Amino acid sequence: METISPGKKNIAVFASGTGSNALNLIMYFKTHDGAQVKLVVCNKKDAPVIQKARGFDVPVVVVNRETFYDEKYMLSVLENESIDFIVLAGFLWLIPQFLVDKYRDRIVNIHPALLPKYGGKGMYGSKVHETVKQNNETETGITIHYVDESYDEGDVIFQKAVPINCTLQSTEEIAQKVHALEYAHYPRVIEQLVQKL
C-alpha cells in the first residue's frame, strides 16, 4: 500500500542501466522527512535498475523513444506522481526541451569526471575512466550539474576530486573510486537542492 506523505517533495530518477546510484538514492530518501523517490523512469526494458526500484516498491515507467519525446505523455507521467525534481543517474538520452523548460533548475545530472574535461556525447560509463587513464591524469572525480539542452554543459553545482595513479590503477579501480564519491555526495547534494524548493 502506498504511503501518503503530503509534505514531501517528490523526486523522479531517470536511469538507463545498472542503477546503483538510483538504488542509493531510493535508500537514502526512504526514511527522509522532506523528500522521497516517487518514480523511476527507464529507457531500457531489461535494465537492472527496474528490478532494483521495484524491490523497494518504487514505481517504474519504461519509455521508448516515441513516448519519452512525447510532451503530453511525459508531462502527464510526471504530473501523475506530482514530481517536483528530476535526478539523472546514468540516463543516456538527451533531455527534451519541454522537460528542460518545465523543470528548469530542477533537473540535475551526475557525471563521473571533473567537467568540462571528459564530458559530452559518447562520454559515459567506462569510456570516461579509460580516457582519464590514457591521459595519465593525477586526479579524477565527480561533477553534479544542472541539466540544459546539451550533454554535460549545465551549470556546475558541486565537484569533488580524488587522486589517482594511472600507472598503478586499473580502469575498474578508478571507476570504483568515482562510484564511492557518487554514493557519498549525490544524495546529500540533492537533499540540499530539494530543501530549497
Contacts of 68 (CB under 8 A, 6+ apart): 41, 43, 74, 93, 96
Q: Is residue 182 at the binding interface for ligand GRF, with CB under 6 A as the rule?
A: yes
- If we measure between CA atoms, which residue out of 84, 77, 103, 60 comes closest to residue 8? 84
In single-letter form, the type of residue at position 4 comes to I
- Single out the segment in contact with ligand GRF by CB under 6 A; choices: 55-63, 64-72, 106-114, 156-164: 106-114
Kindly state whether residue 152 participates in binding ligand GRF, applying the rule CB under 6 A. no
Active-site residue (options: 111, 129, 145, 179): 111
d(CA 40, CA 18): 13
> Does 20 help bind ligand GRF (rule: CB under 6 A)?
yes
Q: C-alpha cell of 115? A: 567537467
131 scored as a contact of ligand GRF (CB under 6 A): no
Binders in 36-55 for ligand GRF, by CB under 6 A: none
Q: Does 89 bind ligand GRF (CB under 6 A)?
A: yes
- Minimum Å gap between C-beta 24 and ligand GRF is 8
119 touches ligand GRF by CB under 6 A: no
Active site residue 185: no
Nearest to ligand GRF of 74, 144 (CB atom):
144
Contact footprint for ligand GRF (CB under 6 A): 15, 17-22, 89-90, 110-112, 182
